[in-house]
Amino acid sequence: MCLGGTATAHPHVFVDARTGFIFDGEGHLNALRISWTYDEFTTLILFESLNLDKDGDGVFNDADRAAVIDGETNWDPEYKGDVYLEVAGQDYSLGRPEAAAATLANNQVEVSFDLPLSQPVRIGDTPAVLRLYDPIFFYAYTILPATNPIALPQGCEAQIVSFEPDAAESALQEKLAALGREETPSQQNVGRLFSDEVQLTCG
């Protein structure tokens, strides 16, 4: 993404995110579908920083679409798209964005893309957890139900679990209480407690 930011706890960019799970013919989870809808102010910033609508006719044309896709999905190798997938309790690595598209509706830019899994994986009854968050909270993500949901294989279910401050606080306290006896939790795990997530189970 093109708007930088170092450690700060002010969200400047608000993103409504929608997610989908793509399975292959053998019933393995193959890829994630992610879409980001930016707030109206950030949309204006994107128009400025990516120099969109150069002709000023107000039409979001193919050149603008290409600029948004390039600016939003051609990211640095160290950036992971603020997308984190956990399968059977383990972090699962993801590839780079594919099949990206960009639209402008209701004065908000939306960009969507697929993130292939490094290897297709079978999902069992232990939930696979998809979390979207920016470790430094410059971007604030809210996960919403998909407008055109991708059908899941029979027996699979995806559920959005929104961030609840109380739940996060008590979970954090449990973690901190466990600190004495067990190993130090990684910073990332603490950050995860504050994000919306989608839980996927297949029974």
Interface residue list for another protein (CB under 8 A): 2-12, 14, 39-41, 43-45, 47-49, 107, 140, 165, 168-169
Taking the complex as a whole, the smallest distance from the CB of residue 194 to another protein amounts, in Å, to: 8
14 vs 152, beta carbon nearer another protein: 14
22 vs 161, beta carbon nearer another protein: 161
Burial classification of residue 116, based on how many CB atoms lie within 10 Å of its CB (0-12 exposed, 13-18 middle, 19 or more buried) = middle
11 vs 116, beta carbon nearer another protein: 11
49 vs 119, beta carbon nearer another protein: 49
Strand arrangement, sheet containing 90-92: 90-92, 83-87, 128-132, 197-202, 156-161
The kind and range of the H/E element at 141 are: strand 139-144
Taking the complex as a whole, the smallest distance from the CB of residue 122 to another protein amounts, in Å, to: 37
Taking the complex as a whole, the smallest distance from the CB of residue 184 to another protein amounts, in Å, to: 17
The DSSP call for residue 75 is -
Taking the complex as a whole, the smallest distance from the CB of residue 10 to another protein amounts, in Å, to: 4
Residue 102 near residue 50, CB atoms below 8 Å: no
Q: Nearest Cα to 34, choosing from 150, 151, 157? A: 150
